[in-house]
Amino acid sequence: MATSRRPPRAASRVSPRKSKSATRPGRAGKPRSAAKVAPKASFRVAAEGKSRPAPKLPRSAALIALEKLALGALTDMKGVNIRVLDVRGLTDVADTMIVCSGTSDRHVRSLAELVIERAKAAGRRPMGTEGKQEAEWVLVDLQDVLVHVMLPRVREFYALEQLWEVPAAARRASPSDKRPQSP
């Protein structure tokens, strides 16, 4: 009587995975090209090879309303030293940054929570918040407006106003003017 035994199924065992680029013809070991990514339009390159900020477009009514909403919440809760920074043309992350100080960690947390509450009531759900647990620096991301609520010592240490504020000379200079070279 002949019994048929099957041979072991070695061919169907899973072999160690190869990367997709190694299995594609002509792609083995070649990294993806960065040339396919289009450069961001926030900076234009001048003839000398130096970059300068793109010209600012007028602020939209929705942006102004969102700024007023955040500023109203901060002033209602007695936020200290509120500064509004227009960062259009400097970054693509946001159009406006609002920097505010609170007198204590509870005050900082309450300021941020009121901004979030008012934004939700207006139908603008925040993209995210950071730092609510520690409440030394709370960031509320309202898409076009970033609200930074900080303790005074943290605000002094990081100096966001100095980082993002455009110097007065650059504000007065038109985009066609040449900027003076630093010594």
Taking the domains of the chain in order of start, what are their residue ranges?
A: 61-166
Residue 30: per-residue pLDDT: 47
Q: How is residue 6 written in tokens? A: 């099957």
Residue 97: per-residue pLDDT: 94
Residue 164: per-residue pLDDT: 85
Query: Mean pLDDT in runs of 10 for the chain (183 residues)?
Result: 57 48 47 44 45 65 92 95 90 92 95 96 93 92 94 93 73 51 50
Return the CATH fold of 61-166.
Answer: Beta Polymerase; domain 2 (3.30.460)
Return d(Cα 90, Cα 53) in angstroms, integer. 6
Residue 101: per-residue pLDDT: 95
Residue 47: per-residue pLDDT: 43
167 CB-contact burial (10 Å; exposed 0-12 / middle 13-18 / buried 19+): exposed
- Side-chain-side CA neighbours of residue 98 (13 Å): 28
